[in-house]
Structure 1
Amino acid sequence: MNFNGIPLHPLVVHAAVVLTPLAALLCLVFALVPRWRWAVRWPALVVSVLGFAAIYVAYLSGEDLEDRLNIRSEMFETHEEWAERLRLAMLVLAIVMVVAAFVLPFRSPLTSTGERAARLGVLSIPLVVLLVVGALFVAYAVYRTGDAGAHLVWDGTPT
């Protein structure tokens, strides 16, 4: 996969590197600061879905780049393994965020109706826990994936 003669992978990775930690941060705020849920709900949902899309395209373009360059090394294997974990973790986080956006209660200062009750109150605590654990793991996984990818590209290159 190329874009204007350049492999797509290094281009798309930049979107994933920005959107993924931002999604993790927004999901943490949504989960842990109930009074801000009304303001963070849509940004967290949209950025989580876009973050997954960026990771998915980066994953596919990375697979394509691997096939074309025929790279095999321990660092490459590490990068590939963490990319797979990140892809799955971000998918789970995006799904949990979509559910949480419509299930967890929030209070909007724009209406006088008070706090919107949880639609499925039984799910409130598990959703908060899943959002926190998922966001923390996604943040760690994007770091490990990016670190391995950076070492793969830059080790041995004079700076």
Structure 2
Amino acid sequence: MPNDFHGLPLHPLIVHATVVIVPLAALTVLLAALWPRFRAWAGPLPTGLSLVGLALVPLSTSTGETLERHVAHSALLERHTHLADGLLPWMIGLAVVASISFAVQRLGRAKSVHRSIPIVLAVLTLIVVVGATVQVVRIGESGAKAAWADTNMSS
């Protein structure tokens, strides 16, 4: 995998896609779990977005590891990389819950689905949505601090 795109490091480019897709996936999966009308309208969209977000996570960490070899090591950078390693399990959970929810929705049209299944899925969805979203925010904040720590932004 190349390390740059026309001289720009790939990590910030891929990370910006991750920072947009992961919360968008989380929001659509949550809406699909809680709002039947949205669920019917969205169809496979929440699952698709969660799978794209899942694919972006290892790309983000891989390009981050490449970039890490070219910048000065610091405690802020160490915290950022440690937090980044924690996103993959949340995204796996989000993709699994989204996929199961979509399958249950499709199955529910053909056969009756026990009432407890959508409730359990909604609770699990809420957990992974909050976990993935909070983790993305923590990673982004720590990355910004690591990138901008040595600059003086005062006027």
Q: By the TM > 0.5 criterion, same fold? A: yes
Q: Structure 2: which 5+ runs fail to align?
A: none
Does the CA-based 8 Å contact 2:80-2:139 persist in structure 1? yes
Question: Structure 1 residue 105: deviation in Å?
Answer: 6.4
Aligned-residue sequence identity (percent) comes to: 36
The aligned residue for residue 8 of structure 1 is 10
With the length of structure 2 as denominator, give the TM-score of the two structures: 0.85
Match of 2:51 among 27, 49, 52: 49
Q: 1:117 Cα deviation (Å)?
A: 5.8
1:1-159 to 2 correspondences below 5 Å: 1-66=3-68, 68-69=69-70, 71-104=72-105, 116=109, 121=114, 123-159=117-153
Matched AA of 1:79: H
SS in 1 for 2:44: helix
| Superposed displacement of residue 118, structure 1 | 6.4
Q: CA RMSD in A?
A: 2.1
How far apart in 2 are the matches of 1:28 and 1:16?
A: 18
**In 1: Cα distance, 2:96 partner to 2:43 partner:** 14
Say if 1:118 and 1:145 are closer, same or farther in 2 by CA, change over 3 A.
farther
Aligned-partner residue type, residue 75 of structure 1: L
Contact 1:75 1:152 survives alignment (8 Å): yes
Q: What is the Cα deviation at residue 120 of structure 1? A: 5.1
Paired residues, what number? Answer: 150
Contact preservation (8 Å) 2:30, 2:126 = yes
Residue matched to 1:110? none
| TM-score (normalizing by structure 1) | 0.83
